[in-house]
């Protein structure tokens, strides 16, 4: 921030010197402008350091007004002393300082006020941005706190179904798979983003657990033709709620074989993830909380404001389509 501050004043000096320069006089004028603007550079640097040290310094109107009064009272005399010193080799006197004050133009007052206003605006913007990021982080943590129990509940529900069937070997295998799933879910929840390849492996393990419950009825086709897409970053536990939603509205509504399709492709700079399942109009509706899709939509918005989740019925199939901008 301090480096940008110094560079800004150098550029301002160059622009001012260029506008006032005559032939072959630019460098001399630029040097003079830089020397004259040293007080302004020091003032803005002090304000920047104060902003870095006390981020909430400009948060209240009282602080802003008080600091502005201090700057207006103390800075101009110091600036006049400096200008009198650099422009006159003789000793500094009250008379010379008074004459320097008379030579001060309204533009100098404007520059002082504008410099203060810009630093205050930057400080308030940084503070607002920090608060916004903190709020988004808290919302993300709250959404993850909702998602993890939701996932655990549904996974345990699958295990309980195996236990009720009385197959101890399959039940123990399901518990082993569940421990692996929980290990990934807990570790991924601590990260803001994971590789798509990790998500696909998690989906493979999750469907393996569900296959113990549904057997050969469970059929999921995953189409991700481009291996490079495995390195694309996405929110953790992105696909699992979509597949869980497809299972709820497909296999849980009939006794036949499922036809769940997962398609992953890239169009320009957008990653498309589509999960679809058939809709049986004759089967009774399977009510749910709707938490999975709602939670996923909100997490996508926090991960990337341009990301979207579209859930709709098209013909005899239901589609959940994620559009995630990727670099």
Q: Judge contact between 206 and 174, C-beta under 8 A.
A: no
Residue 243 CA to residue 218 CA, distance in Å, equals: 12
- Label residue 96 by pLDDT band (50, 70, 90): low
More confident residue, 66 or 26: 66
CA-closest candidate to residue 241, choices 154, 175, 158, 305: 154
CA-closest candidate to residue 202, choices 175, 245, 238, 169: 238
The stretch 36-44 carries a mean pLDDT of 72
- Label residue 141 by pLDDT band (50, 70, 90): low
Q: Do residues 171 and 284 share a domain?
A: yes
- Give the per-residue pLDDT at 282: 66
Q: Do residues 149 and 198 share a domain?
A: yes
Taking the alpha carbons at both ends of the chain, their separation in whole angstroms is: 27
Residue 243 CA to residue 290 CA, distance in Å, equals: 13
CATH number for the domain spanning 203: value is 3.30.565.10
Q: Do residues 184 and 314 share a domain?
A: yes
Q: Report if residue 120 sits inside a domain.
A: no
Q: Which residues contact 231 (CB under 8 A, 6 or more apart)?
A: 195, 196, 197
Highest mean pLDDT among 53-62, 179-188, 231-240: 231-240
Q: Do residues 156 and 94 share a domain?
A: no
pLDDT of residue 91 exceeding 60:
no
Q: How confident is the prediction for the chain on average, in pLDDT? A: 74
Q: Report if residue 127 sits inside a domain.
A: no
Q: Report if residue 83 sits inside a domain.
A: yes
Classify residue 60 by its DSSP letter. S
Highest mean pLDDT among 35-39, 110-114, 142-146, 304-308: 304-308
- Give the per-residue pLDDT at 20: 56
DSSP for 216-234 reads: GG--EEEEE--GGGGG-EE
Q: Do residues 85 and 142 share a domain?
A: no
The stretch 79-94 carries a mean pLDDT of 62
pLDDT of residue 237 exceeding 80:
yes
Range of the structural domain that residue 257 is part of: 138-325
The stretch 297-320 carries a mean pLDDT of 89
Q: Report if residue 129 sits inside a domain.
A: no
Q: Do residues 36 and 154 share a domain?
A: no
Residue 126 CA to residue 139 CA, distance in Å, equals: 20
Length of the chain: 327
Q: Do residues 182 and 309 share a domain?
A: yes
pLDDT of residue 217 exceeding 80:
yes
Q: Do residues 184 and 293 share a domain?
A: yes
């Amino acid at each position: 921030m301090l480096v940008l501050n110094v560079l800004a004043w150098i550029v301002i000096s160059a622009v001012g010197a260029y506008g006032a320069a005559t032939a072959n006089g630019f460098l001399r004028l630029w040097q003079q402008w830089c020397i004259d603007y040293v007080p302004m550079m020091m003032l803005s640097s002090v304000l920047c350091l104060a902003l870095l040290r006390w981020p909430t310094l400009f948060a209240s109107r009282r602080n802003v007004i008080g600091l502005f009064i201090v700057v207006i009272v103390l800075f101009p005399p110091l600036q006049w002393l400096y200008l009198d010193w650099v422009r006159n080799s003789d000793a500094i006197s009250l008379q010379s300082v008074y004459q320097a004050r008379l030579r001060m133009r309204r533009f100098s007052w404007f520059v002082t006020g504008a410099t203060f206003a810009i630093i205050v605006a930057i400080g308030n913007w940084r503070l607002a941005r920090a608060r916004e990021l903190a709020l988004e982080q808290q919302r993300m943590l709250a959404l993850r706190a909702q998602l993890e129990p939701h996932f655990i509940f549904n996974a345990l529900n699958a295990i309980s179904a195996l236990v009720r069937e009385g197959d101890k070997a399959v039940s123990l295998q399901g518990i082993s798979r569940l421990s692996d799933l929980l290990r990934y879910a807990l570790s991924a929840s601590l990260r803001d983003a994971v590789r798509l390849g990790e998500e696909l492996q998690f989906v493979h393990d999750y469907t393996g657990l569900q296959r113990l419950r549904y057997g050969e009825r469970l059929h999921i086709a995953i189409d991700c033709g481009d291996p490079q897409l495995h390195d694309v970053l996405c929110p953790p536990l992105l696909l699992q709620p979509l597949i869980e939603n497809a299972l709820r509205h497909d296999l849980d509504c009939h006794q036949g074989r499922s036809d769940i399709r997962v398609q992953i492709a890239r169009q320009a700079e957008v990653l498309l993830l589509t999960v679809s399942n058939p809709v049986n109009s004759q089967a009774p509706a399977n009510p749910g909380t709707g938490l999975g899709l709602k939670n996923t939509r909100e997490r996508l918005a926090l991960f990337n404001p341009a990301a979207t989740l579209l859930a709709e019925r098209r013909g005899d199939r239901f589609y959940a389509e994620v559009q995630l901008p990727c670099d």
